[in-house]
Amino acid sequence: MLTLLHDINFNIEAGTSVAILGASGSGKTTLLGLLAGLDTPTDGAVYLDDHNLNDFDEDGRASLRAELVGFVFQNFQLLFGLTALENVMLPLELAQAPHPRKTAEELLSRVGLQERLHHYPNQLSGGEQQRCAIARAFSTRPRCLFADEPTGNLDSETGKRIIELLFELNSEHGTTLIMATHDIELSKLCRQRIRLKAGSMLDNEMD
């Protein structure tokens, strides 16, 4: 059996922003997946909002995610069969939130896509797709937002604007932001930085 992560121990305060920093293959994405409850560790425990994720079965963790967590991915992960509006509406519909269409429209306007509501992902540019993904991530007002290399697939100018948007919305919603990145400049925007190397934690630095 291959150990992917070991000797990792840290706390994240509610409302803060955290960068998980490391080179490719250092275990950032795996750690992010564990923190978000997408996977469970073979050893050790992850607590999310005082819930030990090990105590939940997969459906329990799904329910927890629906309630607490939002995601932004490197390759956007928009569903190709759905329009921008429908992509943002999906988590709202799953959570049975009231007025999903209205909320989604407002969020898409907020990220500047009010003219692109009915476009499909392949009709949107990379930056627009990521804006749509961010609108989706915030649609259920998650307490905690996980972002995996959110600018990894974007040019630097677009990436910069996406990060600005992400941080703006983060502060507007008072969300805890946990972001995996290999970009040191980007990590400096966060209040806490956890550096990984070959699956173990090098340091845990806080501003």
Partner 1 sequence: MSLSKKEQGFSFYWYTSWRMLWRDWRGGELTILAIGLIIAVTSITAVGFFTDRIERGLQMQSAELIAGDLVLTSGRADIYDYIAEARSNDFRVATTQQFRSVVLADERLQLTEVKAVSDAYPLRGVVRTSDTAFGDDEATTGIPAPGELWVEPRLLQLLDLEIGDSVDLGTSTFTIRKFIRYEPDRAGDLFSVAPRVMMNSADLDATGLISTGALVNYRVLIAGDSDRIVKYQAHLKQQLRAGEQVLSVEEGRPELNTALKSAQQFLGLAALISVLLAGVAVATVANRFSNRHLNTSAMMRCLGASQDTIIRLFTMEMLWLSLLASTVGCLLGILTQFVITELLDQLVLKQLPPPSLQSLVLGYATGIVMLIGFALPPLLSLRRVPPIHVLRKDVPTRPPSVWTVYLAVVFCMSLLLYWQIGDLRLVSIVIGGIVATLAALASAAYLLILLLNRLRARVGVAWRFGLANISRRPGSSVIQIVAFGLGIMVLLLLSTVRSDLLDNWQSSLPDDAPNYFVINVQSDQVEKIMENFDEMGVVKTKLYPMVRARLVEVNGRKISTSDYESERAKRFVTREFNLSWAEEMQPGNELVMGQWWRQQDHNKPLISFETKLAQTLKLAVDDVVSFDINGSLMDFTISNLRSVDWDTFNVNFFTVVSPGVLEDQPANWITSVYLDKEQRKQLDKLVREFTNITLIDIETIMQRVRGIIERVSLAVEFIFLFTLMAGLAVLYAAIQSNQDERRFESAVLRTFGASKKVLMLGLFAEFTMLGALSGLLAGLSATSLAWLLAEFIFRFDYQFDISVALTGLVSGILIVVIAGLLGTRSVLTTPPVQTLREGRA
User: CB of 175 within 8 A of CB of 144?
Assistant: yes
Site of interaction with partner 1 (CB under 8 A): 29-30, 32-33, 36, 38-39, 51, 55-60, 62-67, 69, 71, 73, 75, 77, 79-82, 86, 90-91, 93-96, 122, 126, 140, 148
Say if residues 28 and 20 touch (Cβ distance below 8 Å): yes
Cβ at position 66, least distance to partner 1 in Å: 2
Shortest spacing between CB 64 and partner 1, in angstroms: 5
Q: Which residue has the tokens 């966060």?
A: 190
Nearest distance, CB of residue 96 and partner 1, angstroms: 6
- Closer to partner 1 at the Cβ: 64 or 117? 64
User: Nearest approach, Cβ of 79 to partner 1 (angstroms)?
Assistant: 5
Q: Which is nearer to partner 1, 91 or 164 (CB)?
A: 91
Q: Which residues contact 146 (CB under 8 A, 6 or more apart)?
A: 32, 35, 36, 69, 70, 71, 72, 178, 179, 180
- Residue nearer to partner 1 on the CB measure, 149 or 183: 149
DSSP letter (8 states) at residue 8: -
The SS3 of residue 63 is helix
